Chain A
Amino acid sequence: MAERLATLVGLYALLGLGYQIVFGQLRALNLAQGALFGVGAYATALTAEQIGPFALLVAPLAAGAVAALAAPPMLRLQSHYFALATLALASLINLVALHAEGLTGGANGLVGFGVALPRGTTLAIVVWLVLIAAVIAYAFVFRGAMGEKARLLREAPLVAATLGIDGALWRFTAFVVGGAVAGLAGGFSAALTGVVSPEATGFSVMLLCLTAVVLGGARHPLGAVLGAAVAVLLPELFRGLQGSWLLAYAAATLAVVLWAPEGLAGLFTRPRAATLPRPIAPAARPLHLVLTGVSKRFGGVEALGDVSFAVERSEVVGLIGPNGSGKTTLLNVISGLERADSGTIVLDSIGLEHLPPHAIARLGIGRTFQTPIEGESRGAGLARAVSNGAAFLLLDEPAAGMTDRERDALAHWLERLRRTRGIVLVDHDIELLTRVCDRLVCLEGGRIIAVGSPAEVRADPRVRASFLGVPA
């Protein structure tokens, strides 16, 4: 009895741990995790008689394969469409389990394969060894830089992309690995009960998994283990209550979502101060960033028209212009968040026009955004942009909202950064720009109206009229 419970806790913890990768780390509401558990259970049941205990290894392969097949179209979807697609996939798997009687035994399910599989104490030990290994692997993977990358993907996908993080690859890997882990848990559950019925693919497994992860803590390495222990053991304790334990579950989940968003595990651990990553010095190359004839339209509006200029390493180029003149759009086009309609953007000899944002970032272009990520200071964005050794920095209004002292500090900091990097600086503070920039480029209506040294550009009559508000 105790053995059975221990095995149950272990295998649901494993299911939940797989779910933490997708739901906890990437915040993707995958509603097919329960069905993938079922796929694993069926895979083990179907192969146990032929290959014995190795059937347990078939489970993660089968579930991982189903996840990998379904993943490419689904991972492009945004939050609620992703949830819907996974829900449809889960319903489909459930229907197959119920109605493909030749393969799955229909509503009666499969029985009689259990003798070929490890049972009792052996099974309990195997499950817990696998679980412990998985928890350690999870904690190790998401401890340092990987954990921080996952946080960025979750909180600010665009920032992640401009730091060179390939979100699509991450989501694919998480979905498939999470699914494979669910399948393994399903295989264990088939070994434990000796029966596999369509219920294994049903929504109640999904609900249990979600409950366990939310209860325990969606990201903490021990979250799923704690959650599974509570979710499995509590109903056993309150067996007298019969069906109402499911009601209690749901109520508990709701309470945790409302009042303890980090879950039970979050109640025990205080957040630790992050260790500062050592900044990486930029590599010797690339040396030049050259824009030629870059144009971009949004519908009928010309956001950028025939913009050409170049930035060298150890040079600071200031980008000025009235609001709506295309400054941020230009930065977006360089970093790949928007596509230019025409023109070329070349880093040394590599054309950037058709590369995805993460690839551009990896070639050595870092950037900051006007709005910081919630809960972070503005400095965090700057620190992140320089932390990965980008040779060129695109800074979008770093001085906005700063006090005079902070502006001084920023100017000093830019002086240090420019020794090894090329910088494009968008700002409205013309005094700051005059101090730190070698050249200024003034945009109006998406077109360059003046280029030159700060003194030249400030003296230009068109710049004075359009931007500085001084009559020519």
Chain B
Amino acid sequence: MAYALVALGFVLALNAAGAVNFAHGDLVVLGGAVAVLLVGWLGLPGILLLPLVALALAAAGIVAAHVAILPLARRPPEATFVATIALAAMIEQGLTLTMGAAPHTTPPFLGSGAVTITIAGAGATLGLQPLAIVLVGGVLVAGLWLLLERTQVGRRMRAVAADRHMARAVGIPVARYVTLSLALSGALAGIAGFLLGHQFLVTPTQGAGHMLKAYIAVALGGWGSVPGALIGALAIGVFETFVSASIGDAWASAALYIAVLLVLTVRPRGLFGEPVGQRA
């Protein structure tokens, strides 16, 4: 479910920018790092921390939009790739410098204040944190769906994603909606980083891994499709759980990459295809 949040944020940024945001994985890590820092300063419980992390990363998303995406809107998508790769490296190195290469752990989402519950939760078969991830993830996915499908803002975001020239022609301020999408994307990444950070720790070098998984989820699920990204992310989660249980983590990743190469060999435009034609 946390993968789903990462992938959803990724697909939002992708649609808005028309190009891959290679810094997305590092925004996830940044979310975890912000949570670690904030808890050090303020000592807030997880439930209050969540909106703060989301806000901070929304701001980071806006910065990313203004630094690496909007100025390159008229250039080929590869320019955005390179710019966001550079941005990703900056975030990674910046975090290594400020918090060191050692892993940190974020506070749990539920608990902290009510220790007894955590212990009870740990005693049950379902851990409290995985439960929280599924809960928060479910709420956010539902909220995002409502936003995109049921509101004027969401319709405009989709219009910008589908055809930015047409969107501009009918009077939508494209740059503002690109920025908005990136802010949302950043917030989702931040929340995912915060939630993942408790179980899987936060290390500056994780970004590329997060990004790669989101990238795979989106490529398999159908480029730019929001439900596709969701299905892709869940599929990766299931795949990793089952395969790594039988052959170990490293070879599970290898199997995943091989599977991706095979899928792309057979279906060069992802499992569910991409309804985009070629132009002269």
The interface of chain A, by Cβ under 8 A from chain B, is 23, 27, 29, 70, 73-74, 76-81, 83-85, 87-89, 91-92, 95-96, 98-99, 156, 158-159, 203, 207, 210-211, 214, 243-244, 246-247, 249-251, 253-254, 257-258, 261, 337, 369-371
Q: Residue B94 at the A interface, CB < 8 A?
A: yes
Q: Residue B254 at the A interface, CB < 8 A?
A: yes
CA A243 to CA B205, docked complex, whole Å: 13
Q: Are B258 and A92 in contact (CB under 8 A)?
A: yes
CA A375 to CA B184, docked complex, whole Å: 36
Say which residue of A27, A159, A254 sits within 8 Å of B86 (CB atoms): A254
21 contacts between A and B (CB under 8 A): A29-B82, A70-B261, A74-B261, A80-B19, A81-B219, A81-B270, A84-B215, A87-B215, A88-B216, A88-B260, A91-B257, A95-B250, A158-B278, A247-B90, A250-B87, A250-B89, A251-B90, A253-B86, A254-B83, A254-B86, A369-B280
Contact with A along B61-84 (1 / 0, CB 8 A): 000000110011001111101110
A88 (CB) vs chain B CBs: closest residue: B257
Which label, helix, strand, loop or mixed, suits the secondary structure of the A interface? helix
A332 (CB) vs chain B CBs: closest residue: B280
Q: Are A73 and B265 in contact (CB under 8 A)?
A: yes
Q: Residue B225 at the A interface, CB < 8 A?
A: no
**Chain B residues with CB under 8 A of A73:** 261, 264-265
**Chain A residues with CB under 8 A of B85:** 207, 210, 253
Which label, helix, strand, loop or mixed, suits the secondary structure of the B interface? helix
CA A243 to CA B219, docked complex, whole Å: 34
CA A211 to CA B97, docked complex, whole Å: 20
**Chain B residues with CB under 8 A of A80:** 19-20, 77, 219, 223
Extra contacts, 4 of them, besides A251-B86, A253-B89, A337-B280 (Cβ < 8 A), are: A81-B269, A91-B253, A243-B96, A254-B90
Beyond A210-B85, A247-B90, whether A158 also contacts B280 by CB under 8 A is yes
Q: Are B223 and A98 in contact (CB under 8 A)?
A: no
Q: How many A-B residue pairs have CB under 8 A?
A: 122
Q: Are B87 and A247 in contact (CB under 8 A)?
A: no
Q: Are B90 and A250 in contact (CB under 8 A)?
A: yes
- Nearest CB of A to B102, in Å: 13
Q: Residue B112 at the A interface, CB < 8 A?
A: no
* Size class of the contact patch on chain B: 35 or more
Beyond A81-B269, A156-B280, whether A27 also contacts B76 by CB under 8 A is yes
Contact with A along B35-79 (1 / 0, CB 8 A): 000000000000000000000000000000001100110011111
B215 (CB) vs chain A CBs: closest residue: A84
CA A29 to CA B219, docked complex, whole Å: 16
Q: Residue B99 at the A interface, CB < 8 A?
A: no
Q: Are A244 and B68 in contact (CB under 8 A)?
A: no
**Chain B residues with CB under 8 A of A98:** 250
Q: Are A244 and B93 in contact (CB under 8 A)?
A: yes
Q: Are A27 and B78 in contact (CB under 8 A)?
A: yes
Q: Are B68 and A99 in contact (CB under 8 A)?
A: no
- Nearest CB of A to B235, in Å: 16
Beyond A85-B260, A95-B253, A207-B85, whether A77 also contacts B75 by CB under 8 A is no
**Chain A residues with CB under 8 A of B76:** 27
**Chain A residues with CB under 8 A of B270:** 81
Q: Are A78 and B93 in contact (CB under 8 A)?
A: no
A214 (CB) vs chain B CBs: closest residue: B82
Q: Residue B208 at the A interface, CB < 8 A?
A: yes
Q: Residue B268 at the A interface, CB < 8 A?
A: yes
B88 (CB) vs chain A CBs: closest residue: A250
B81 (CB) vs chain A CBs: closest residue: A29
Q: Are A81 and B264 in contact (CB under 8 A)?
A: yes
Q: Residue B145 at the A interface, CB < 8 A?
A: no
Q: Are B86 and A74 in contact (CB under 8 A)?
A: no
Say which residue of B72, B79, B81, B93 sits within 8 Å of A83 (CB atoms): B81
**Chain A residues with CB under 8 A of B278:** 158
Beyond A78-B268, A253-B82, whether A99 also contacts B260 by CB under 8 A is no
CA A74 to CA B87, docked complex, whole Å: 27
Q: Are B90 and A89 in contact (CB under 8 A)?
A: no
